Amino acid sequence: MNLKGLDQVRNSEFYLNAALGKIKYAQLGTTPKDRDKKKELIEKEKIKMIKTSLCDALTRIIKSFPDFDNLAEFYDKLVETSLDKDTLRKELSTLNWGAQKIDELTSETVRKMSSADDKQLRKIKGAYIGRVSSIMKRLNRPLDFLEHARRILLSFPSVKTDTYTLCISGFPNVGKSTLLSKVTTAKPEIGAYAFTTKSLNIGYFDARFEKVQVIDSPGTLARFEKMNNIEKQAYLAIKYVADVVVFVFDLTEPYPIEDQLRLYENVLEMDKPTFIYFSKQDIIKDDRIENFIEENKFINVVAKPDDLVTSIQKQMKNRFR
Ligand SMILES: Nc1nc2c(ncn2[C@@H]2O[C@H](COP(=O)(O)OP(=O)(O)OP(=O)(O)O)[C@@H](O)[C@H]2O)c(=O)[nH]1
Ligand SMILES: [Mg+2]
């Protein structure tokens, strides 16, 4: 999702002041070029400047938001979990309504100004500014909501939804970020405590013809509604972005192995090709891993990070068969 143009959304007063400031500083009617212009033309120019400034600002806001009807599934679900899409649509269309109203009011005012004398012109302009201000004030609630939405959208991870993707799944503190740093150039924070990773870590490695995106996707056994933001993002990444998953088991058991097995079962339900990797092999007795593999009849185990990369490359080739 491209959110580059998503600038801060301000309140109506900010946009009004900017518009009124423009006519003040443009000094229409005071330059030698304007000396011979009729007052009527100058006042018309001023209100057109106000209109352009406000309508441009409103249109820019509307256009800066993504098209919520055509989001990739991952972002669509993410928006759904954190924002009310109907309110978003409604508030964006309220801004559109405001821009249209200001446009109509300006045309109407320009017509009224034709052949008006100086006193009438002042009065018409005053009334125009009053009406424009009250239209803008009605936009405060939508502007507020859109700023709130913008902050949420900016907190979303930059996931490439059209790139071949490996998700690293597993309980907190099992060594997911460490594995990410071994297979990609990413430098995630690694900590000796659970929940070190607070936003999705993403890295890339080169397969033969394309990049592979690797997402460090922390998981727990919480129900979706009970998950925190990063757990939700991780869940949606596995469900909607992952082509393949590697599940990290940690037999030093920062979390009971029964829970890790349950999470593994949940991941399998997502129906993605899934590999198993054992972290912390340097501090686990040799036969512990072998016995565990045998007990659970695992066949899809990758012994080392390098083997994971090779397995992913094989998996990528298979997808065209
Ligand atoms: N000895 C040893 N320690 C490891 C290994 N992999 C990870 N660790 C340690 O385990 C702890 C957790 O590692 P992380 O990679 O941060 O684990 P994580 O799964 O990303 O943790 P969260 O982000 O909290 O979910 C750190 O202290 C690491 O240094 C390993 O292969 N061997
Ligand atoms: Mg981590």
Q: What's the distance, Cα to Cα, between the start and end of the chain in Å?
A: 30
Q: Are residues 84 and 172 in the same domain?
A: no
- CA 314/CA 9 separation, integer angstroms: 47
By the 8 A CB rule, do 165 and 242 touch? yes
The DSSP letter of residue 8 is: P
122-128's contacts with Cβ under 8 Å and 24+ in sequence apart are 124/43, 125/43, 125/46, 125/47, 128/47, 128/50
Residue 189 within any structural domain of the chain: yes
Based on the domain organization, do 31 and 133 belong to the same domain? yes
Instruction: Say if residue 171 is in the same domain as residue 298.
Output: yes
Domain count of the fold of the chain: 2
User: Residue 152: its pLDDT value, please?
Assistant: 93
Spacing, Cα 159 to ligand 1 middle (Å)? 23
Does 121 map to a domain?
yes
Looking at the structure, tell me whether residues 103 and 191 fall in a common domain.
no
Cα gap 301→63, rounded to integer Å = 48
Q: Which ligand is nearest to the CA of 263?
A: 1
For residue 171, the CA-to-ligand 2 centroid distance in Å is 10
Atom of ligand 1 at shortest range from CA of 192: 27
- Which atom of ligand 1 lies at the shortest distance from residue 279's CA? 31
Segment 189-208, tens digit of pLDDT: 888 887 777 789 999 999 87
The predicted-structure confidence for 207-257, as pLDDT tens digits, reads as follows: 878 999 999 988 888 898 899 888 999 999 999 999 999 999 999 998 999
Does one domain contain both 86 and 170? Answer: no
What is the pLDDT averaged over residues 112-141? 96
Instruction: Give the end of a domain, one of 123, 154, 185.
Output: 154
Question: 106, 127, 154 — which closes off a domain?
Answer: 154
% the chain with pLDDT above 70? 96
Token pair belonging to 92: 């964006």
Reported as a single tens digit per residue, the pLDDT across 1-58 is 777 778 999 999 999 999 999 888 776 656 666 555 678 899 999 999 999 999 999 9
Give the integer Cα–Cα distance in Å for 10 and 19.
Answer: 13
Residue 2 falls inside a structural domain = no
The pairing of beta strand 211-218 with beta strand 201-206: antiparallel
| Cα 183 to ligand 2 centre (Å) | 14
Pair (113, 230) in one structural domain: no
Asked if the model's pLDDT at residue 151 lies above 80, the reply is yes
- Cα 70 vs. chain centroid, distance in angstroms? 14
Q: Are residues 275 and 214 in the same domain?
A: yes
Mutate to test the pocket of ligand 1, among 167, 178, 182, 233 (most ligand atoms within 8 A of CB): 178
Residue 73 has pLDDT above 60, yes or no: yes
Which residue puts its alpha carbon closest to atom 26 of ligand 1?
192
Q: What is the pLDDT of residues 74-84, one digit of tens each?
A: 999 999 999 99
For ligand 1, the distance from its centroid to the CA atom of residue 179, given in whole angstroms, is 8
Of 173, 251, 288, best ligand 1 pocket probe by most atoms within 8 Å of the beta carbon: 173
Q: Of 129-133, 196-200, 311-315, which range is least confident?
A: 196-200
What local confidence, expressed as pLDDT, does residue 198 receive? 76
Residue pLDDT, tens place only, 250-288: 999 989 999 999 999 999 999 999 999 999 999 998 799
With respect to residue 285, please indicate whether it lies within any of the assigned structural domains: yes
Average confidence score pLDDT of the chain: 92
Residue 281 lies in a domain: yes
Q: Is the predicted pLDDT of residue 133 greater than 70, yes or no?
A: yes
Same domain, yes or no: 204 and 290: yes
CA of residue 176 to ligand 1 center, whole Å: 7
Phi, psi of 204 (to 5 degrees): -135, 145
**Residue nearest atom 7 in ligand 1 by C-alpha distance:** 175
- Which pLDDT does position 135 carry in this prediction? 98
If asked whether residues 212 and 286 sit together in one domain, one would say yes
Mean pLDDT of 135-140: 98
Same domain? For 250 and 142 the reply is no
Q: Based on the domain organization, do 134 and 37 belong to the same domain? A: yes
Q: What is the CATH number of the domain that holds 91?
A: 1.20.120.1190
What pLDDT is stored for residue 3 in this prediction?
76
Distances (CA, A) of 116 to 39, 123, 157: 10, 10, 57
Nearest residue by C-alpha to atom 31 in ligand 1? 280
Q: What are the pLDDT digits (tens) for 158-185?
A: 999 999 999 999 999 999 999 999 999 9
- Name which residue sits closest to atom 4 of ligand 1, judged by CA: 280
Which alpha helices (H) appear in 65-202, and where do they start and end?
73-82, 85-113, 118-138, 140-154, 176-183
CB proximity list for 76: less than 8 A, separation 6 or greater: 68
Stated pTM of the model: 0.86
210 is a domain residue: yes
The answer to whether the beta carbons of residues 160 and 213 sit under 8 Å apart is yes
Distance CA 145, CA 163 (A): 32
DSSP letter (8 states) at residue 242:
-
CB contact at 8 A, 166 and 243: yes
pLDDT value of residue 206:
94
Run of H or E residues at 61:
helix 39-64
Helix, strand or coil, per DSSP, at residue 83? coil
Instruction: Output the ligand 1 site: residues, CB below 6 A.
Output: 172-178, 190-192, 194-197, 218, 279-280, 282-283
Please say which residue of 122, 154, 186 terminates a domain: 154
- Regarding whether 171 and 112 lie in a shared domain, the answer is no
Residue ID of nearest Cα to ligand 1 atom 10: 175
Domain ranges, residue 202:
165-318
| Position 258 in a domain | yes
Q: Which helix (H) or strand (E) holds 211?
A: strand 211-218
Cα–Cα distance between 39 and 308 in angstroms, integer? 76
Tell me the two tokens of residue 23. 């006519």
Tokens found for residue 38? 């009729």
Residue 296 covered by a domain: yes
